Amino acid sequence: MEDCIFCKIIAGEIPSTKVYEDDDVVAFLDITQTTKGHTLVVPKKHYRNILAMTAEESAELFSKVPQIASKLVDKLHAKGMNILQNNEEIAGQTVFHTHIHLIPRYDENDGFIAKFTAHDYDLTEIAKQING
Residue 73 to residues 29, 56, 70, 89: CA-CA distances in angstroms? 14, 27, 5, 29
99 classed as catalytic: yes
Name every residue whose Cβ is closer than 8 Å to that of residue 59 and which is 6 or more positions away in sequence: none
Cα-flanking dihedrals φ and ψ of residue 119, to 5°? -125, 150
Q: Could you say which DSSP state residue 27 is in? A: E
Query: What is the layout of strands, in order, in the sheet containing 18-21?
Result: 18-21, 25-29, 39-43, 100-105, 80-84
Q: Tell how far CA 77 is from the center of its chain.
A: 20
* Catalytic hit among 46, 99, 101, 119: 99
Which residues carry out catalysis? 99
